């Protein structure tokens, strides 16, 4: 076996930037040019094959034959491919590796025919034999079922844990108010969230209001590493005074008594002490930011503010539920409004102090005078804060009384109030707090900054999102089983109708989601919206949330039955709806919900967690997916054609030696070095649905390239955040590398994946992940050194996949079909400033709107400031004959620098899969007559017969010969002479 080979000298072992990779590529281009006799300073020429599955691969095969016969195939510096175009490019690359670069010469036509016979034999590459009793067809089904079952089991374990959390939390919820010392945690969470809000407002006021308007205290006491000790001392002093006052006065924050005069001073000291402690925490890098007023992003706001506020609302809801059970049966809202302040003196004091602090921090400035009467701004602000805080506190008190009265009214049984309060209370309390803050913002008015009002709006949005998730989870876990019990009490047809509707909607939505986002299938982008397309789009939006809710309810019902039987083996797991009505049915149901003990629920959670971790550890997310199935079949068809010593396993018909490690293809020095060849770029998409970069709000992804030297992406909001590149790992003693050629082209053609670049949808991603519809692959992020090729635990990647939340900062990147970003494979060639690009477009485009070309033009203008000017009018089909005037149009590329100054030009030769009038081939005419959609049959059809295979191959050969052969257009010939004269001479 060959010993491990060193990488090219130009590349290191760590993270690489794009310039390093491009320089190393240029060295290899010069090496290839030395072999074919082209000057080093000649402009770069490239050949690009589009996506489109086996249609693109077979059409591209004909193009390759024509270029071989014309002697042009060896003239290119780059080969670039996407999806199906990568199938046939990999076939060509494998032959060059195994048979030498002479494979590109016209004299090898006879050997090409033998290899093409293998491709035709396996044109049904996914299932060579299709039929009801075909092992190939059933293998497709059994492979998907096995992998889907393992992935679903892992995800179901996570769902079970989520649904058990409310049941365990409910036990804590019921006893929380009885432990006054533990209730101090509620105060701590609330104070922490409020002071972080205040600190964020101080930071924003300084950044937006300017130092001239900053308060003297703020200018004097900046969060600076040298000052953190001062702040820590002030914090300790304030908290010490608070503790002393608390102890001397015998203050009890949880007693039911008239409002204490000490409540507000103690709350103020506690709040200010916590605020002054922030510099010390920042010094310890708790908030992962510089030593300054915290400037939280989306994730930090959720971690430090939203989650504590949610937990506070849950704990306060428990206190209110405890009070509701002790109220007289005939209590009115008016009585609560007048007398209830005695029940929560410290809570109101905390709320008042919080509102005062937030109002102080949100004001624009404190210096100078205001109004015509020249009132000192300090005095004006003090009066404004006092009035607005008092009004907001009264409003908050009124809303809390309303929540308390609702809980009292919902007391349908001895336990009902706790359950209902647990489900609805947190949402109502968060809404009350958000409403009070909204009122405060309105009362403060123009005295605050617009940026702060916008920040509060976004915070309110996150509070509502978390409240909605809380309601969905608790409703499914606690109300869901009751719904299932009610359905079970109906007639069979009545019970099965909603279940059948749920299953049907789920299946239809899954199929619709997959069909509308196939890699490179341009029907959605280029066609006018018809009624069927509107229905499909509606299904992709309606089906996912219905599926998620139904799944949660179903799992919750099973959990309810299992836990109740485990707790009370002889219990009747049903509510007799014929004998009980209303409150009695709920009482019976809630009584059964208390049957499992907290210890039992905790033990079940531990067991489920262990099973889930075991599955996440052993079930590799890359291997147990459709990716492995797809990869092995592409290898058998397109790489097996070049493997003359092929010895397939008798039962499965696979030979693992068909595939080639990318490290073996890597250019290097030595006697066993692979032949110098044009550089093959395999284009993919890195999905970035969770990125904070707003420029990706429609793209949801970026270009990711698997080249002969390295793989990676140049995407990043700033140079320091770029993903970067990483060279291919050296082959080990067995000749196996980190990545193989079949893996690369299967990822580039991973059309069906939960994350799909432009087509990504979080709701659809959840469904496709659960059903394991994933052809894509998770790659180690080049930003992080020493990463495993696959994650050790699949949990994190599954979560990111479920919610389409992968980002450039993730340790693993979700890579899918290159057509989810650029389906022509030209984007990376424009980055490399190629002067001649021959683009072969065989994507599904029945209307010939050239959607992929339009997308490419926009991407290149935005990202590279490169203008592509091309007229595709001649490609439009005739309304009667459906024939196009031609299949080749020529465009101009203008490369510009950052200032917009033109610094070079290029030529784009665009070959489109059309039927021009010059096609006189009887077999093509006959096939088109029987299949009017030809040459744009659906990408979903990956099962080609011999007639279909030969038709696309012959059409590709005809179009390429006509466009680039001796009869090429005069203007194209003239342009080629100016750019690369050897392409005309050939």
**DSSP track, 741-772:** HHHHHHHHT--S-S--GGG--HHHHHHHHHTT
Q: How far apart are CA 253 and CA 400, in angstroms?
A: 17
The SS3 assignment for 683 reads strand
* pLDDT the model gives residue 14: 77
Residue 26 lies in a domain: yes
Average pLDDT over residues 460-484: 89
Would you state the structure tokens that stand for residue 378, as one six-digit string? Answer: 């300090």
* pLDDT the model gives residue 919: 83
Single residue among 480, 513, 529 that ends a domain in this structure:
480
Residue 376 lies in a domain: yes
* pLDDT the model gives residue 913: 94
Is the pLDDT assigned to residue 829 strictly greater than 90?
A: yes
| Residue 677 banded pLDDT, cuts 50, 70, 90 | confident
Q: How far apart are CA 931 and CA 938, in angstroms?
A: 12
Q: Contact at 8 Å (CB) between 446 and 138? A: no
* pLDDT the model gives residue 221: 40
Residue 68 lies in a domain: yes
Q: How far apart are CA 518 and CA 939, in angstroms?
A: 7
Of the chain, the percentage scoring pLDDT greater than 90 comes to: 33
**Other C-beta atoms lying within 10 Å of the C-beta of residue 897:** 10
Q: How far apart are CA 495 and CA 505, in angstroms?
A: 16
| Residue 799 sits in the same domain as residue 936 | yes
Closest CA to 819 of 783, 861, 779, 776: 776
Q: Contact at 8 Å (CB) between 65 and 111? A: no
* pLDDT the model gives residue 153: 93
* pLDDT the model gives residue 343: 57
| pTM reported for the whole predicted model | 0.82
Site of tokens 């696309």? 952
Average pLDDT over residues 556-566: 88
- Which residues, 6 or more positions from 403, have their beta carbon under 8 angstroms from its beta carbon? 320, 425, 428, 429, 432
| Highest mean predicted confidence (pLDDT) among 248-262, 414-428, 471-485 | 471-485
Is the pLDDT assigned to residue 399 strictly greater than 80?
A: yes
| Residue 753 sits in the same domain as residue 847 | yes
Site of tokens 């390759």? 64
Q: How far apart are CA 13 and CA 785, in angstroms?
A: 9
* pLDDT the model gives residue 91: 97
| Residue 801 sits in the same domain as residue 915 | yes
Q: How far apart are CA 748 and CA 818, in angstroms?
A: 5
- Which residues, 6 or more positions from 777, have their beta carbon under 8 angstroms from its beta carbon? 622, 627, 743, 746, 747, 750, 815
Is the pLDDT assigned to residue 159 strictly greater than 90?
A: yes
597-618 tens-digit pLDDT: 889 999 999 999 999 999 999 9
**Other C-beta atoms lying within 10 Å of the C-beta of residue 739:** 18
* pLDDT the model gives residue 300: 78
* pLDDT the model gives residue 3: 42
Residue 421 lies in a domain: yes
β-pair type (45-49, 701-706): unpaired
| Residue 826 banded pLDDT, cuts 50, 70, 90 | very high
Give CA separation, 932 vs 473, 841, 914, 925, 951, in Å: 51, 19, 12, 10, 13
Single residue among 424, 459, 480 that ends a domain in this structure:
480
Closest CA to 36 of 677, 661, 713: 677
* pLDDT the model gives residue 577: 59
Single residue among 438, 461, 480 that ends a domain in this structure:
480
| Residue 818 sits in the same domain as residue 697 | yes
Closest CA to 825 of 46, 24, 25, 30: 46
| Residue 286 sits in the same domain as residue 398 | yes
Closest CA to 742 of 848, 637, 869, 614: 637
The SS3 assignment for 15 reads coil
Q: How far apart are CA 281 and CA 275, in angstroms?
A: 10
Burial class (CB in 10 A: 0-12, 13-18, 19+), 453: middle
Q: Which residue has the higher pLDDT, 649 or 871?
A: 871
Q: Is the dihedral of CA 390, 391, 393, 397 positive or negative?
A: positive
* pLDDT the model gives residue 215: 45
- Which residues, 6 or more positions from 807, have their beta carbon under 8 angstroms from its beta carbon? 688, 689, 690, 691, 692
Closest CA to 83 of 65, 59, 101, 107: 59
473-532 tens-digit pLDDT: 999 998 888 888 888 777 777 778 888 888 888 888 777 766 644 333 343 344 456 677
841: containing domain: 18-128+626-985
Closest CA to 281 of 290, 270, 268: 290
- Which residues, 6 or more positions from 476, have their beta carbon under 8 angstroms from its beta carbon? 163, 549, 552, 553, 556
Q: Contact at 8 Å (CB) between 343 and 448? A: no
Residue 343 lies in a domain: yes
841-851 tens-digit pLDDT: 999 988 888 99
* pLDDT the model gives residue 581: 65
205-226 tens-digit pLDDT: 666 554 444 444 444 344 454 5
Burial class (CB in 10 A: 0-12, 13-18, 19+), 248: exposed
Is the pLDDT assigned to residue 813 strictly greater than 50?
A: yes
Q: How far apart are CA 298 and CA 361, in angstroms?
A: 21
* pLDDT the model gives residue 64: 97
Would you state the structure tokens that stand for residue 489, as one six-digit string? Answer: 């009490």
323-366 tens-digit pLDDT: 887 778 788 888 888 876 655 556 667 777 777 777 777 777 76
Is the pLDDT assigned to residue 33 strictly greater than 90?
A: yes
| Residue 58 banded pLDDT, cuts 50, 70, 90 | very high
Residues pairing with 897 in the sheet: none
How many distinct structural domains can be found in the chain? 2
The SS3 assignment for 812 reads strand
Q: Contact at 8 Å (CB) between 783 and 810? A: no
* pLDDT the model gives residue 881: 77
Cα 29 to its chain centre, rounded Å, is 36
The secondary structure of 175-213 as a DSSP string is HGGG-TTTTHHHHHHHHHHHHHHHHHHHHHHHHHH-GGG
| Residue 84 sits in the same domain as residue 194 | no
| Residue 198 sits in the same domain as residue 121 | no
The SS3 assignment for 420 reads helix
| Highest mean predicted confidence (pLDDT) among 238-242, 424-428, 729-733, 770-774 | 424-428
* pLDDT the model gives residue 260: 61
The secondary structure of 83-127 as a DSSP string is THHHHHHHHHHHHHHHH-GGGGSGGGHHHHHHHHHHHHHTSS-S-
Residue 3 lies in a domain: no
Q: Contact at 8 Å (CB) between 912 and 91? A: no
* pLDDT the model gives residue 941: 82
Q: How far apart are CA 935 and CA 924, in angstroms?
A: 10
The SS3 assignment for 984 reads helix
The SS3 assignment for 860 reads helix
| Residue 718 sits in the same domain as residue 782 | yes
- Which residues, 6 or more positions from 413, have their beta carbon under 8 angstroms from its beta carbon? 583, 586, 587, 590
Is the pLDDT assigned to residue 7 strictly greater than 70?
A: no
Average pLDDT over residues 529-557: 81
Give CA separation, 603 vs 217, 568, 607, in Å: 53, 16, 6
Give CA separation, 876 vs 63, 380, 523, 677, in Å: 21, 71, 15, 36
Q: How far apart are CA 224 and CA 283, in angstroms?
A: 8
* pLDDT the model gives residue 129: 80
| Residue 211 sits in the same domain as residue 278 | yes
Residue 141 lies in a domain: no
| Residue 421 banded pLDDT, cuts 50, 70, 90 | confident
Is the pLDDT assigned to residue 636 strictly greater than 60?
A: yes
Q: Contact at 8 Å (CB) between 896 and 866? A: yes
Q: How far apart are CA 156 and CA 956, in angstroms?
A: 48
CA within 13 Å, CB half, 308: 18
Residue 486 lies in a domain: no
| Residue 116 sits in the same domain as residue 191 | no
Is the pLDDT assigned to residue 181 strictly greater than 80?
A: no
Give the angle subtended at the CA of 506 by the CAs of 501 and 511, to the nearest 5°.
Answer: 130
Q: Report the mean per-residue pLDDT for the chain.
A: 82
Q: Contact at 8 Å (CB) between 910 and 927? A: no
β-pair type (724-727, 679-687): unpaired
| Residue 184 sits in the same domain as residue 124 | no
* pLDDT the model gives residue 363: 74
Average pLDDT over residues 832-837: 96
| Residue 208 sits in the same domain as residue 73 | no
Q: How far apart are CA 898 and CA 864, in angstroms?
A: 8
Lowest mean pLDDT among 66-70, 164-168, 487-491, 667-671: 667-671
563-581 tens-digit pLDDT: 888 877 766 556 665 566 6
Is the pLDDT assigned to residue 735 strictly greater than 60?
A: no
Is the pLDDT assigned to residue 728 strictly greater than 60?
A: yes
Closest CA to 59 of 831, 891, 845, 677: 845
Average pLDDT over residues 448-475: 84
* pLDDT the model gives residue 691: 83
| Residue 948 banded pLDDT, cuts 50, 70, 90 | very high
Question: What's the CATH code of the domain at 925?
Answer: 3.40.1090
* pLDDT the model gives residue 216: 43
């Amino acid at each position: 076996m060959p010993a491990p080979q060193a990488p090219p000298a130009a590349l290191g072992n760590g993270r690489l930037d794009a310039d390093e990779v491009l320089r190393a590529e240029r060295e290899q281009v010069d090496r290839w040019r030395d072999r074919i006799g082209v000057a080093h300073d000649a402009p770069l020429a490239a050949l690009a094959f589009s996506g489109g599955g086996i249609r693109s691969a077979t059409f591209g095969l004909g193009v390759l034959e024509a270029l071989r016969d014309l002697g042009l195939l060896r003239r290119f510096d780059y080969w670039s491919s996407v999806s199906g175009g990568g199938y046939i490019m990999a076939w060509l690359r494998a032959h060059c590796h195994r048979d030498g670069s002479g494979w590109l010469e016209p004299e090898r036509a006879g050997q090409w025919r033998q290899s093409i016979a293998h491709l035709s034999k396996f044109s049904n590459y996914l299932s060579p034999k299709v039929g009801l009793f075909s092992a190939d067809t059933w293998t497709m089904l059994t492979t998907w079922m096995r992998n889907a079952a393992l992935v679903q089991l892992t995800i179901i374990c996570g769902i079970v844990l989520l649904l058990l959390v409310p049941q365990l939390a409910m036990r804590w919820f019921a006893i929380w108010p009885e432990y006054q010392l533990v209730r101090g945690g509620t105060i701590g969470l609330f104070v922490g969230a409020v002071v972080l809000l205040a600190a964020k407002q101080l930071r924003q006021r300084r950044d937006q209001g300017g130092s001239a308007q900053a308060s003297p205290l703020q200018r004097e006491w900046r969060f600076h590493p040298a000052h953190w000790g001062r702040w820590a001392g002030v914090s300790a002093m304030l908290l010490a005074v608070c503790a002393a006052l608390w102890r001397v006065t015998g203050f009890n924050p949880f007693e039911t008594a008239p409002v204490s005069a000490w409540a507000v001073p103690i709350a103020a000291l506690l709040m200010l002490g916590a605020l002054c402690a922030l510099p010390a925490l920042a010094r310890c890098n708790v908030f992962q930011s510089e030593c300054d007023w915290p400037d939280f992003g989306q994730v930090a706001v959720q971690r430090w503010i939203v989650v504590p506020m949610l937990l506070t609302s849950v704990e306060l809801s428990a206190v209110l539920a405890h009070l509701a059970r002790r109220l007289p049966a005939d209590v009115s809202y008016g009585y609560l409004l007048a007398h209830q302040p005695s029940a929560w003196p410290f809570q109101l004091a905390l709320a008042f102090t919080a509102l005062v602090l937030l109002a102080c921090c949100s004001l624009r400035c404190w210096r100078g005078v205001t109004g015509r009467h020249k009132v000192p701004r300090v005095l004006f602000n003090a009066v404004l804060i006092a009035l607005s805080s008092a009004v907001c506190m009264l409003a908050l008190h009124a809303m809390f009384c309303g929540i308390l009265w609702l809980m009292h009214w919902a007391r349908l049984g001895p336990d009902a109030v706790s359950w209902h309060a647990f489900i609805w209370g947190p949402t109502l309390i968060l809404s009350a707090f958000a409403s009070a803050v909204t009122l405060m913002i309105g009362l403060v008015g123009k005295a605050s900054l617009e940026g702060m009002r916008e920040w509060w709006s976004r915070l309110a949005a996150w509070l509502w999102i978390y409240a909605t998730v809380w309601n969905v989870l608790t409703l499914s876990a606690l109300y869901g089983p009751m719904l299932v019990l009610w359905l079970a009490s109906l007639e069979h047809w009545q019970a099965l109708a909603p279940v059948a509707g749920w299953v049907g909607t789920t299946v239809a939505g899954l199929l619709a989601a997959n069909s509308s986002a196939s890699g490179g299938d341009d029907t959605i982008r280029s066609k006018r919206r018809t009624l069927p397309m509107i229905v499909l789009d509606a299904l992709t939006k309606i089906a996912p949330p219905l599926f998620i809710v139904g799944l949660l309810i179903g799992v919750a019902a099973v959990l309810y039955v299992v836990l109740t039987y485990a707790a009370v083996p002889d219990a009747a797991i049903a509510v007799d709806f014929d004998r009980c009505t209303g409150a009695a049915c709920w009482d019976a149901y809630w009584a059964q919900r208390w049957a499992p003990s907290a210890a039992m629920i905790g033990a079940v959670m531990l067991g489920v967690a262990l099973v889930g971790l075991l599955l996440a550890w052993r079930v590799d997310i890359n291997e147990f997916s459709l990716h492995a199935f797809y990869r092995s079949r592409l290898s058998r068809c397109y790489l097996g054609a070049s493997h003359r010593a092929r010895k397939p396993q008798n039962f499965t018909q696979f030979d693992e030696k068909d595939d080639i490690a990318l490290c073996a293809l890597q250019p290097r020095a030595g006697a066993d070095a692979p032949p110098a060849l044009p550089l093959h770029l395999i284009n993919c998409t890195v999905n970035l649905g969770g990125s904070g970069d707003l420029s990706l709000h429609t793209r949801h992804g970026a270009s990711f390239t698997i080249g002969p030297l390295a793989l990676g992406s140049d995407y990043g909001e700033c140079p320091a955040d770029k993903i970067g590149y990483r060279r291919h790992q050296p082959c080990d003693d067995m000749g196996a590398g980190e990545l193989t050629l079949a893996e690369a082209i299967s990822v580039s053609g991973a059309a069906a994946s939960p994350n799909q670049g432009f087509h990504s949808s979080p709701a659809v991603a959840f469904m496709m992940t659960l059903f394991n519809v994933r052809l894509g692959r998770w790659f180690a992020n080049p930003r992080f050194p020493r990463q495993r090729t696959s994650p050790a635990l699949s949990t994190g990647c599954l979560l990111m996949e479920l919610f389409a939340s992968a980002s450039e900062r993730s340790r693993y990147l979700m890579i899918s079909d290159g057509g989810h970003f650029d389906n022509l494979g030209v984007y990376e060639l424009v980055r490399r400033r190629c002067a001649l690009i021959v683009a072969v477009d065989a994507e599904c485009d029945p209307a010939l709107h050239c959607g992929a070309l339009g997308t490419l033009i926009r991407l290149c203008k935005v990202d590279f400031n490169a203008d592509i000017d091309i007229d595709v009018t001649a490609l439009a089909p005739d309304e009667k004959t459906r024939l196009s005037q031609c299949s080749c149009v020529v465009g101009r590329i203008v490369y510009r620098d950052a200032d917009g100054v033109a610094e070079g030009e290029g030529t784009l030769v665009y070959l489109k899969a059309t039927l021009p009038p010059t096609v006189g081939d009887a077999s093509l005419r006959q096939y088109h007559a029987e299949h009017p959609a030809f040459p744009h049959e659906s990408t979903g059809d990956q099962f080609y017969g011999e007639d279909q295979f030969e038709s696309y191959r012959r059409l590709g050969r005809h179009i390429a010969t006509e466009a680039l052969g001796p009869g090429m257009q005069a203007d194209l010939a003239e342009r080629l002479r100016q750019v690369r004269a050897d392409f005309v001479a050939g």
